[in-house]
Amino acid sequence: MNQPTIYAVIMAGGVGSRFWPQSRERSPKQVLEIVGSGSMISNTIARIQPLVPPEKVLVVTNKLQKEIIHQQIPSVPMQNILTEPIGRNTAPCIGLAAKWIRRTDPDAVMIILPADHIIRDTEEFLNVLRRAVHTAQESDALVTIGIKPTHPETGYGYIQYEDSSEKNPFAAEGIYRVKTFAEKPNLETAEKFLKCGDFLWNSGMFIWKASIILNEIEKHIPELGDQLNKLEPAIGTENYQTALERVYGVIRSISIDYGVMEKASKVFVAIGDFGWSDVGSWDEVVRLTPIDGDGNALRGTVIAKDSHGNYIDAGSKVVATIGLEDVIVVVTDDAVLICKKGRSQDVKEVVDYLRRKQINGLL
Amino acid sequence: MNQPTIYAVIMAGGVGSRFWPQSRERSPKQVLEIVGSGSMISNTIARIQPLVPPEKVLVVTNKLQKEIIHQQIPSVPMQNILTEPIGRNTAPCIGLAAKWIRRTDPDAVMIILPADHIIRDTEEFLNVLRRAVHTAQESDALVTIGIKPTHPETGYGYIQYEDSSEKNPFAAEGIYRVKTFAEKPNLETAEKFLKCGDFLWNSGMFIWKASIILNEIEKHIPELGDQLNKLEPAIGTENYQTALERVYGVIRSISIDYGVMEKASKVFVAIGDFGWSDVGSWDEVVRLTPIDGDGNALRGTVIAKDSHGNYIDAGSKVVATIGLEDVIVVVTDDAVLICKKGRSQDVKEVVDYLRRKQINGLL
């Protein structure tokens, strides 16, 4: 059997308001060096390069971000950076990319990755992807990646898999039939999930043939399927942009999880254990950043006197702290965030406030 | 008897490193709006205007600050702004100003005021000054102002006065003979001082005739007296600057308190009770600034969420805080200070560190 052509689809439409003041509408999380060096999107593309060369990478983003993304990943051809007129969650984004890919290569397998995750063990990640691609190719299945949970996280959705062996033809490859998808749980439920042993974190990464997901969209989200079919003949023509805007004007916002995965019959999960994080908040960044002898993680020019347990990013300024404990400080040219550790989920509310007050320069 | 001519001498040579990052070598505390509105030096000069018109105000500063001070107090003639080549504490500064004043008016009384204090009750302050001027004029005494203490402060020197009535010819005017000067005490001693009832805070404000203080300097600091006498003929000539630099090259650093006040015989203290503070630290600024319902004092654009008891000056930036308690935050264009309340005396160490590391842009 032929090796399948593999495409990667990088979903990069997020505004990343949780990383204010670094993240802005024009420079969201995926284009920032949030953890370590290199922007998250360029690291994402570098990570899969052994499986997918840059010319087979599609990026789906929006007009505001297209230019900065292109600058960060110059090896990806400009025409591979697709823009959505407006974000409509993952199903339209994936459907659009699938139409582009199937047009070039009807048998291609697509790997769908968020642009803003970090993964510690790239080798293991690639191994999981190879097995998932193989399964998707062999069986026409929808494959998602579930992360082996390390703690009762309440910030992720969960995936429960079938552990009876007769239902799992790909068990040898670490790939199991999905039993159920679960929304973000409360702490009690998350602890129960962890104890069960057959629950995984929903990573939002998917592997399938372009043709198969388009069939599944037509079946389970027919109104989206119709619109994508109307768009198809315009792809590559001068009418494309007008057609795209018309389509995005009528389709509703819907996730691929809710729209397809929870309804389709042949859904599998590849178990991943490769040091994954979706880096959802400054607190998560703090957990991922090495600390010094005082428990501080310091970036830039920081003078920390009698200060412990802080995360301080001074940007291009100088920050001096005296007697400061367990605080997250992020300084940019125009703004300063000072947030008690454990409270960074509320950064979103600061951004909402700025939006309400129309302090647009800071959004 | 004639009304004396009254001059004010504003001592404005301090670098104010305790107010970093706002205070810099070129913009020290006295030219900042540290508390309320208006710079401290312009408020100081406005406050005494009913007693001393701007043309009778002398300011003693250094070359770095001359221009900004002139901009802030344009009503004071440029030639009244004297510069010292180097700071040598208060005795040389006062001696220099006295030479200038006596040259114009041998009988003039001078009021010497630091440029960077705040006073709440201007009327009462002026009343005390009027009585002190009268005493200095009548008796050729050296008069200082002692502040009625409100708490056992360890950051100030103290003045004990004679309370036996026969030694106090000016008691009716609230002016008493000084018994002793005491250095900054420890807390236990400060509490004892407060209990005694005859100890006052040493405010560093003085009232005397120019001719009298020059005599006293010659008597008690003869080497300074000699140098000032050598300088005198150069005043108003083209040789002045060279002569001044020669003098400051050889005189030693000495305070008027230690050099003269502790040794002279006719030393009186006027008791002041007019809401005085020398605003010696950010913590003192916090105490002097009105707070909102959350116990915060906020200047500029601050979004304070679940934050209490903070002093936050956002400068021209936006500051957002989440869950922050009892912290002092001061933001400037190039630096951010984040200091636990009660720890602002250590700001000086931050500046020392910057100086050692020769991060000159921030000094």
Give pLDDT tens digits for A76-117. Answer: 999 999 999 999 999 999 999 999 999 999 999 999 999 999
Residues from chain B contacting residue A305 (CB–CB below 8 Å): 346, 349-350
**Confidence at residue A13, expressed as pLDDT on a 0 to 100 scale:** 86
Confidence of residue A2 (pLDDT cuts 50, 70, 90): low
Closest residue by Cα to residue B286 from B303, B306, B305, B309: B309
* Co-location of A180 and A204 in the same domain: yes
Torsion of CA A94, A100, A102, A108, to 10 degrees: -70
Name the percent of chain A lying above pLDDT 90: 87
Q: How many domains does chain A have?
A: 2
* Co-location of B194 and B317 in the same domain: no
**pLDDT per residue over B244-294, tens digit each?**
999 999 999 999 999 999 999 999 999 999 999 999 899 999 999 999 999
Confidence of residue A142 (pLDDT cuts 50, 70, 90): very high
Domain finish residue from A277, A300, A329: A277
* Co-location of A131 and A111 in the same domain: yes
Residues from chain A contacting residue B322 (CB–CB below 8 Å): 337-340, 343-344, 346-347, 350
Residues from chain A contacting residue B342 (CB–CB below 8 Å): 323
Decide if A339 and B324 are in contact by the 8 Å CB cutoff: yes
Which residues between 294 and 323 in chain A have a beta carbon less than 8 angstroms from any beta carbon of chain B? 301, 303, 305-306, 314, 317-323
- Whole-angstrom distance, CA of residue B320 vs CA of residue A347: 9
Q: Which amino acid is at A258?
A: Y
Decide if B334 and A318 are in contact by the 8 Å CB cutoff: yes
Compute the nearest-CA separation of B363 from chain A (Å): 12
Decide if A338 and B338 are in contact by the 8 Å CB cutoff: yes
Q: Which amino acid is at A356?
A: R
Residue A162 lies in a domain: yes
Would you call A82 an interface residue with chain B, using a CB distance cutoff of 8 Å?
A: no
| More reliable by pLDDT, A25 or A49 | A49
Closest residue by Cα to residue A178 from A197, A162, A201: A162
Q: Give the residue-averaged pLDDT of A222-227.
A: 98
Would you call B347 an interface residue with chain A, using a CB distance cutoff of 8 Å?
A: yes
**Confidence at residue B305, expressed as pLDDT on a 0 to 100 scale:** 97
For the entire predicted model, the pTM comes to 0.87
* Co-location of B185 and B308 in the same domain: no
**Confidence at residue B52, expressed as pLDDT on a 0 to 100 scale:** 98
Point out the residue among B322, B325, B354 whose CB comes nearest to the CB of A347: B322
Point out the residue among A322, A329, A347 whose CB comes nearest to the CB of B343: A322
* Co-location of A247 and A343 in the same domain: no
Mean pLDDT of chain B: 94
* Co-location of B172 and B317 in the same domain: no
**Confidence at residue A55, expressed as pLDDT on a 0 to 100 scale:** 97
Residue B111 lies in a domain: yes
Residue A1 lies in a domain: no
- Whole-angstrom distance, CA of residue A224 vs CA of residue A222: 5
Helix (H, G, I), strand (E, B) or coil at B290: coil
Residues from chain A contacting residue B334 (CB–CB below 8 Å): 317-318
Q: Assess contact for A348 and A18: CB atoms under 8 A.
A: yes
Domain finish residue from A277, A300, A322: A277
**Confidence at residue B2, expressed as pLDDT on a 0 to 100 scale:** 62
Nearest CA in chain A to B303: A350
Residue B313 lies in a domain: yes
Nearest CA in chain A to B339: A322
Range of the domain at A347: 282-362
Residues from chain B contacting residue A337 (CB–CB below 8 Å): 319-322
Helix (H, G, I), strand (E, B) or coil at B186: coil
* Co-location of B291 and B185 in the same domain: no
Query: What ranges in chain B are assigned the alpha helix state H?
Result: 40-47, 63-72, 90-104, 122-139, 187-196, 210-220, 222-231, 240-250, 256, 282-288, 347-356
Q: Give the residue-averaged pLDDT of B107-127.
A: 96
Nearest CA in chain B to A339: B322
- pLDDT score of A284 more than 70: yes
Q: Give, in order, the Cα–Cα distances in Å from A102 to each of A5, A106, A214, A261.
A: 11, 4, 9, 20
A241-248: long-range contacts (C-beta < 8 A, 24 or more apart)?
A244/A84, A244/A85, A244/A96, A245/A85, A248/A84, A248/A85, A248/A86, A248/A88, A248/A92
DSSP class of residue B328 equals E
Mean pLDDT of chain A: 94
* Co-location of B267 and B286 in the same domain: no
Residues from chain B contacting residue A348 (CB–CB below 8 Å): none
Indicate the range of A322-326, A351-355, B129-133, B143-147 predicted with least confidence. A351-355
Residue B129 lies in a domain: yes
Strands B267-272 and B175-182: antiparallel
Q: Give the residue-averaged pLDDT of B9-29.
A: 88
- Whole-angstrom distance, CA of residue B209 vs CA of residue B7: 10
**pLDDT per residue over B69-86, tens digit each?**
999 999 999 999 999 999
- Whole-angstrom distance, CA of residue A341 vs CA of residue B160: 50
Would you call B250 an interface residue with chain A, using a CB distance cutoff of 8 Å?
A: no
Decide if B322 and A359 are in contact by the 8 Å CB cutoff: no
- pLDDT score of A262 more than 70: yes
Residues from chain A contacting residue B346 (CB–CB below 8 Å): 305-306, 322-323
**Confidence at residue A274, expressed as pLDDT on a 0 to 100 scale:** 97
* Co-location of A245 and A303 in the same domain: no
* Co-location of A131 and A255 in the same domain: yes
Q: Give the residue-averaged pLDDT of A133-146.
A: 96
**pLDDT per residue over B296-339, tens digit each?**
999 999 999 999 999 999 999 999 999 999 999 999 999 999 99
Q: Which two tokens stand for residue B156?
A: 């100030």
Residue A44 lies in a domain: yes
- Whole-angstrom distance, CA of residue A168 vs CA of residue A165: 5
* Co-location of B219 and B305 in the same domain: no
Contacts of B153 by beta carbon, 8 Å cutoff, 6+ apart: B190, B201
Decide if A339 and B331 are in contact by the 8 Å CB cutoff: no
Q: HEC states along chain A?
A: CCCCCEEEEEECCCCCHHHCCCCCCCCCHHHCCCCCCCCHHHHHHHHCCCCCCHHHEEEEECHHHHHHHHHHCCCCCHHHEEECCCCCCHHHHHHHHHHHHHHHCCCCEEEEEECCCEECCHHHHHHHHHHHHHHHHHHCCEEEEEECCCCCCCCCCEEEECCCHHHCCCHHHCEEEEEEEECCCCHHHHHHHHHHCCEEEEEEEEEEEHHHHHHHHHHHCHHHHHHHHHHHHHCCCCCHHHHHHHHHHHCCCCCHHHHHHCCCCCEEEEEECCCEECCCCHHHHHHHCCCCCCCCEEEEEEEEECCECCEEEEEEEEEEEECCECEEEEECCCEEEEEECCCHHHHHHHHHHHHHCCCHHHC
Name the percent of chain B lying above pLDDT 90: 87
Compute the nearest-CA separation of B279 from chain A (Å): 19
**pLDDT per residue over B198-209, tens digit each?**
999 999 999 999
- pLDDT score of B215 more than 90: yes
Which residues between 137 and 196 in chain A have a beta carbon less than 8 angstroms from any beta carbon of chain B? none
| More reliable by pLDDT, A172 or B209 | B209
* Co-location of A301 and A341 in the same domain: yes
Residue B302 lies in a domain: yes
Burial A22-45 (b: 16+ CB within 10 A, else e): bbbeebbbbbbebbeeebbbbbbb
Decide if A322 and B359 are in contact by the 8 Å CB cutoff: no
Which of B299, B312, B317, B328 is the mutation pick for testing A, counting most A CBs within 10 A? B317
CATH of the domain at B129: 3.90.550.10
Decide if A338 and B322 are in contact by the 8 Å CB cutoff: yes
**pLDDT per residue over A324-356, tens digit each?**
999 999 999 999 999 999 999 999 999 999 999
Domain finish residue from A231, A261, A277: A277
- pLDDT score of A1 more than 70: no
Nearest CA in chain B to A347: B322
Residue B1 lies in a domain: no
Compute the nearest-CA separation of B331 from chain A (Å): 8
Compute the nearest-CA separation of A158 from chain B (Å): 30
Decide if A305 and B21 are in contact by the 8 Å CB cutoff: no
Nearest CA in chain A to B347: A322
